[in-house]
Amino acid sequence: MKYFIIFVLFVASLSFGQENISPEQAQKLWMEYMTPGDVHASFAKSVGNWDTEAKSWMDPSGEPVVSKGTAVIEMLLGGRYMQSKYFGTVMGMPFEGMGIDAYDNSTKEYKAIWIDNLGTGIIYMLGKHDPSKNQIEYKGKMVDPVIKGETNIRQVITFIDENTQQIEMYGEMMGKEFKSMEMIMKKVKK
């Protein structure tokens, strides 16, 4: 079955203008693309249950609303993707959100999608890892129903230690970036 899938992918590659590649080269490239590596192993370090405390700002000059919640992180599809599910409250409303983080072996990019019950769209972000800060910074766009269009967003995940992470979200208001959320996550000990 594995070789059938690789053959199908190779044929698909040929149909998109990759005529100068041998079947062996195509198979090698597909195997490299589909095999989880060191970055995927670093995602797996986050697997587990987490307690969260978030500060949210609707007005950048106002006081934040503080809320507590939980998160469950697991790896999907043989360690290729990290799924994060969050539960709590935001601005007094029940909140449930889910993210999928990936590292694309071919493009060497971090990629993330996010959905939650506070909207009906999908946020898509691309990221880079900064080992000197032990952070992943994602940038993307989200729909803002007030302006009836997309606005820029930025997410910074800081890996403080094996049991503590900080997630910061930034949005735009009148063309200027502001911090809309900061969450501290503490891993629940077994």
Return d(Cα 113, Cα 97) in angstroms, integer: 11
Give 129-162 pLDDT, tens digit per residue: 999 999 999 999 999 888 888 999 999 999 999 9
pLDDT score for 92: 78
Q: Is the pLDDT of residue 19 over 80?
A: no
- 85: its two tokens: 């599910």
Residue where the block lists tokens 């890996």? 159
Give the model's pLDDT for residue 61.
83
CB 167 within 8 A of CB 157: yes
pLDDT for 63-102, tens place per residue? Answer: 888 999 999 999 999 999 999 999 998 877 899 999 999 9
Predicted TM-score (pTM) of this structure: 0.85
**Residues 34-70: pLDDT tens digits?**
999 999 999 999 999 999 999 988 887 888 889 999 9
> For residue 125, what pLDDT is reported?
97
Q: What percent of the chain has pLDDT over 70?
A: 90
Instruction: Identify the residue whose tokens are 């946020």.
Output: 123
CB under 8 Å to 184, separation ≥6 — which residues?
A: 52, 53, 54, 164, 165, 166
Contact (CB, 8 A) for 80 and 102: yes
Q: What percent of the chain has pLDDT above 90? A: 68
Burial class of residue 41 (count of CB atoms within 10 Å of its CB; 0-12, 13-18, 19+) = exposed
Q: Which residues of 89-124 are buried (b: 16+ CB within 10 A; e: fewer)?
A: ebeeeebebebebbbebeeeebbbebeeeeeeeebe
